[in-house]
Amino acid sequence: MENKVDKNVENREISEEVFALRKEYTSACLHREDLLPDPVAMFRKWFEEARKAALLEPNAMTLATADSRGFVTARTVLLKAYDERGFVFFTGYGSRKASQIAENPHAALLFPWLALERQVSISGKVEKISAGESLAYFLSRPLGSRIGAWVSEQSKTISSRRLLEEKFRSLMKNFSNGEVPKPDWWGGFRVIPQTVEFWQGGENRIHDRFEYSRTSPLTEWKIERLQP
């Protein structure tokens, strides 16, 4: 009984330490007049500001996908291209994320630019990019990254890291001339935005949130302020 009480006290102390983690957001406000009419243009403005602030990998984004049962998984991936058509990332087509996208072609992205007290969240439909676009990006990658795409059967179980390292060394010999073809099972996806939310942290948790939304690529973007 004494051990159980001691454990409860310990857990309570840990919880209180977490409760005490708190930061006030006071660096900026986001006003309606600050917004550009198009969310991609607004994203570009904030993205460039994140780059100039020398944030660690400002193109790192959380990607959330769900299967046909509604089981959700999330992971960090890197944004590699964006324009008015959407936001592009690359992966193995046999990966868990790709399998979930095949079952449920919708996803959400989150850019957590915490040092700027900002985040951008995007949700929409997902489609594969063209083979030509995937090839162009693949050929731009460093040699090790291109070979890495051949090494990993992404998301599949494996007994040890050593097997991956041995396979990598073997492929380095096979591709010693530097000519590494793109695997058929590797390429890009594009998230076509249907909603884009810009969040700026505010004092006393009165954050500024603005959401762009539209029902189809042919309709105008609607901008609404959301309560924090």
Per-residue model confidence as pLDDT tens digits over 32-48:
999 999 999 999 999 99
> Choosing from 85, 205, 209, 225, which is the catalytic residue?
205
Residues 85-137: pLDDT tens digits? 999 999 999 999 999 999 999 999 999 999 999 999 999 999 999 999 999 99
pLDDT, position 57: 97
Residue 146 has pLDDT above 60, yes or no: yes
Please indicate whether residue 205 is annotated as part of the active site: yes
pLDDT for 18 equals 87
Burial state string for 135-147 with b = 16 or more CB within 10 A and e = fewer than 16: eebbeebeeeebb
Q: How is the chain split into domains, by residue range?
A: 23-132+186-226
Confidence of residue 15 (pLDDT cuts 50, 70, 90): confident
Residue 40 tokens read as: 């991609």
Mean pLDDT score across all residues of the chain: 94
The CATH code belonging to domain 23-132+186-226 is 2.30.110.10
pLDDT tens readout for residues 149-164? 999 999 999 999 999 9
pLDDT at 115: 96
Q: Collect all residues with Cβ–Cβ distance below 8 Å to 193 and sequence separation of at least 6.
A: 39, 40, 86, 87, 122, 123, 124, 212
Beta-sheet strands, E only, within the chain: 60-66, 72-78, 81-83, 86-92, 106-113, 118-128, 186-200, 208-213, 222-226
Q: What percent of the chain has pLDDT over 70?
A: 94
Query: For residue 15, what is the enclosing H or E element?
Result: helix 2-19
pTM: 0.90
pLDDT beyond 60 at 2: no
Phi, psi of 215, deg, nearest 5? -90, -20
